[in-house]
Amino acid sequence: MSTETTAQSPLRLAVIIGSVRHERFADAITSWLETELATTDGLEVDVIDLADVDLPLQGTRPGGTETAISGRLHAADAYLVVTPEYNHSFPAALKNAIDWHYQEWAYKPVAFVGYGAGSGGIRAIEQLRLIFPELRATTIRDAVLLAAPWTRFGENGYKATEGERAALTATMTELGWWARTLRAGRVAEVESAA
Ligand SMILES: Cc1cc2nc3c(=O)[nH]c(=O)nc-3n(C[C@H](O)[C@H](O)[C@H](O)COP(=O)(O)O)c2cc1C
C-alpha cells in the first residue's frame, strides 16, 4: 500500500458481482447499487464482474496467484459482494474467485448484498461469513437482503423499498468505518517497516 494514502483519501470499494449467468438478475441489482453509491462522498467504486474474468477451476493454487483482477482486488480498501442464493448457498463462480486470490483480501472488510426468493440471500451470506476469516478478511454485521427483488423490477430498473435503502445506508456506514480503520492499520504497518 502506498504511504501517500491518508485518512482523507477516497475509499476504494470493489463491488463484486457473484452471478456469472448469461441471463441474470444481478445486472438489475448492480445498476441500482451503482446509482445509490454514486451519491456517497469519498467513495471510488470499481465493479468487478466475474463473468468477464477467466479463472479456470483447474488453475487454482493455494496462496493465490496473479490474475486479471488481482490488481483491482489488491487496490480495494473494502469489498461489497453481491450474491444470489443458489441451493441455499452462494454461486460456485464466487467461491472460485475467492479461492484464486489470497493476499488481496487480507485485513480488509467485506459487506454483502444478497438476493433470492423469501430468504433474500441470507443463507448465501452466512456461508460466505465462514470463508472470509480464513483470508484474514473481516465481514461486517449489517447486510442488504433483497427478497424476491424481481417483483420490484420495472422499466426504470430495480425499485428498492425504503427498508432496503436504509439497510444499504447502514451497511455502507459500517463498511466505511471498518475500511478506514483497517486502512489506517495497513498504512501504519507499511510506514513502520519503511
Ligand atoms: C441453481 C439455482 C439455485 C437456486 N436456489 C435458490 C435457493 O436456494 N434459494 C433462493 O432463494 N433462490 C434460489 N434460486 C433463485 C435465485 O435466487 C434467482 O434465480 C436469482 O435471480 C439468481 O440470481 P442471478 O439471476 O443474478 O444469477 C436459485 C437459482 C438457481 C439458478
Average pLDDT, the chain: 96
Q: Please give all residues whose beta carbon lies within 6 A of any atom in ligand 1, as ranges.
A: 19, 21, 24-26, 84-88, 116-117, 119
Q: Looking at ligand 1, which residue's alpha carbon is closest to its atom 2?
A: 86
> Binning pLDDT at 50, 70 and 90, where does residue 180 land?
very high
> Binning pLDDT at 50, 70 and 90, where does residue 5 land?
confident
Q: Are 113 and 47 in contact (CB under 8 A)?
A: no
Give the model's pLDDT for residue 2: 55
Give the model's pLDDT for residue 32: 98
Averaged pLDDT for residues 109-118: 97
Ligand 1, from 21, 86, 90, 123: best to mutate by most atoms within 8 Å of Cβ?
A: 86
Q: How far apart are CA 60 and CA 58, in angstroms?
A: 6
Averaged pLDDT for residues 123-141: 98
What's the gap in Å between 26 CA and the centre of ligand 1?
10
What's the gap in Å between 120 CA and the centre of ligand 1?
10
Q: Encode pLDDT of 26-53 as tens digits.
A: 999 999 999 999 999 999 999 999 999 9
Q: Are 43 and 35 in contact (CB under 8 A)?
A: no
Q: How far apart are CA 165 and CA 77, in angstroms?
A: 22
What's the gap in Å between 109 CA and the centre of ligand 1?
25
User: How many other C-beta atoms can be found within 10 angstroms of the C-beta atom of residue 148?
Assistant: 13
3-state class (DSSP) for residue 58: helix
Q: How far apart are CA 74 and CA 164, in angstroms?
A: 29
Give the model's pLDDT for residue 194: 85
Top-tier CATH class for 11-55+62-193: alpha beta
The residue whose grid cell reads 463498511 is 175
**% of the chain residues with pLDDT over 90:** 91
- Count of residues making up the chain: 194
Q: Is the pLDDT of residue 161 over 90?
A: yes
